[in-house]
């Protein structure tokens, strides 16, 4: 049976989702198109969002981008129900705008070889399996982008493994390949507390690790061990992913995105704004702010709107 038919799907009607493009940086579009995996935007994506090109990196790191939806006051979740998707779905003024936000997340998963998800994200989204909900996008992924898998690899990141909900649904969905990145302490914890079988990669001086990844079955769980003690090494992780031709990495974990930003490792942010206010403390970087003397900047390279209560941005990070 075709795996794309075994997971929940959503019917994304183009007419309801079309965005008004308010601004595009033409120079940036040309630059990304020149170095893109494909230099023609697939028709459904173009009709809804306009042109979208994802640049290939030419160094030893992949192209890294993050995707989130904020309230107008910059919050990423409700304190009483912290699931991120609620920020868009609870916008009662424009349900179609919220659906467009979710569809754009699916678009970014379509281009991604790997999506990085945090343990807290799994805990907050018990049913979240990190798959693509639009069959049209799966077809684009397979036939236009020439991706081997129908869905991106789900890479779960955790410092010491103790915060990973080991009974989460994503570990029991055969259609989605799941990897984990954790520290040596995290590997030890998983060995002692998880009944599932997994393959540990921790000797990256020995080139056989690439063959292990290449020969791994779709349902094999790979645990990439980086760092020391109970701390991981995000730079090493990204270099490892690049070495095995994982060119496009989408980060769906707010805390991990912030960590990568602190290390100048996020290339782009796709941030959408839902026209509601939440308040509270659920926001990026609450406990680890930048300073007035040392902080990144962002240039908006694309701005779109749905009705008057949803904004969609593509931002280029400047460090």
Residue range 248-262, pLDDT digits in tens: 999 999 999 999 999
280-304 pLDDT, tens digit each: 999 989 889 999 999 999 999 999 9
DSSP string, the chain: --GGGSS------HHHHPPEEEEE-HHHHHHHHHTBS-SS--HHHHHHH-----BPP-SSS-EEEEEEEEETTS-SS-SSS--TTHHHHT-TT-HHHHHHHHHHHHHHHHH-SEEEEEHHHHHH-TT-------HHHHHIIIIIS--SSSS-EEEEE-SSSTTS-TT-GGGG-TTS-EEEEE-HHHHHHHHHH--S--EEE---SSTHHHHHHHH--TT--EEEE-SBTTB--HHHHHHHHHHTT--EEEE--HHHHHHHHHTT---EEEEEEES----SS-STTTTS---SSS--EEEEEEEEEETTTEEEEEEEEE-
CATH assignment of the domain containing 265: 3.40.430.10
Nearest CA-CA partner of 275 in 310, 312, 305, 306: 310
Please say if the pLDDT value at position 175 is more than 70: yes
Q: Does pLDDT of 5 surpass 80?
A: no
The pLDDT of 119-146, averaged and rounded, is: 93
The whole domain housing 216 covers: 3-318
Tokens linked to 29? 């579009």
| Number of domains within the chain | 1
Full-model pTM: 0.95
pLDDT band at 58, cuts 50/70/90? confident
Q: d(Cα 85, Cα 102) in Å, to the nearest integer?
A: 8
Left if phi > 0, otherwise alpha if psi is -120 to 50, otherwise beta: which for 285? left
How many CB atoms are located within 10 Å of the residue 196 CB?
11
């Amino acid at each position: 049976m075709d795996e794309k038919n075994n997971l929940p799907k959503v019917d994304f009607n183009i007419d309801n989702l079309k965005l008004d493009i308010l601004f595009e940086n033409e120079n940036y579009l040309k630059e990304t198109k020149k170095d893109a995996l494909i230099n023609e935007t697939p028709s459904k994506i173009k009709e809804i969002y306009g042109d979208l090109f994802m640049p290939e990196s030419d160094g030893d790191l992949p192209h890294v981008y993050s995707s989130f939806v904020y309230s107008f006051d910059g919050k990423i979740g409700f304190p009483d129900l912290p699931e991120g998707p609620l920020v868009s779905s609870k916008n009662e003024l424009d349900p179609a705008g919220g659906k467009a936000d979710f569809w754009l997340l699916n678009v970014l998963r379509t281009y991604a070889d790997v999506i990085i998800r945090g343990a807290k994200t799994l805990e907050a989204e018990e049913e979240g399996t990190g798959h693509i909900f639009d069959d049209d996008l799966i077809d684009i992924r397979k036939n236009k982008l020439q991706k081997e898998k129908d869905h991106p690899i789900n890479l779960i990141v955790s410092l010491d493994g103790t915060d990973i909900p080991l009974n989460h649904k994503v570990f029991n969905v055969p259609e989605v390949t799941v990897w984990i990145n954790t520290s040596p302490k995290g590997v030890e914890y998983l060995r002692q507390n998880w009944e599932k079988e997994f393959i540990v990669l921790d000797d990256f001086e020995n080139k056989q690790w690439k063959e292990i990844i290449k020969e791994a079955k779709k349902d094999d769980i790979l645990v990439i061990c980086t760092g020391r003690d109970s701390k991981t090494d995000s730079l090493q992780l990204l270099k490892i992913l690049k070495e095995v031709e994982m060119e496009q990495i989408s980060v769906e974990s707010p805390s991990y995105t912030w960590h990568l930003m602190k290390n100048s490792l996020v290339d782009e942010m796709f941030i959408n704004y839902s026209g509601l206010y939440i308040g509270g403390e659920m926001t990026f970087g609450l406990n680890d702010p930048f300073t007035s003397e040392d902080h990144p900047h962002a240039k908006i390279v694309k701005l779109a709107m749905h009705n008057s209560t949803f904004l969609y941005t593509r931002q280029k990070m400047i460090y």
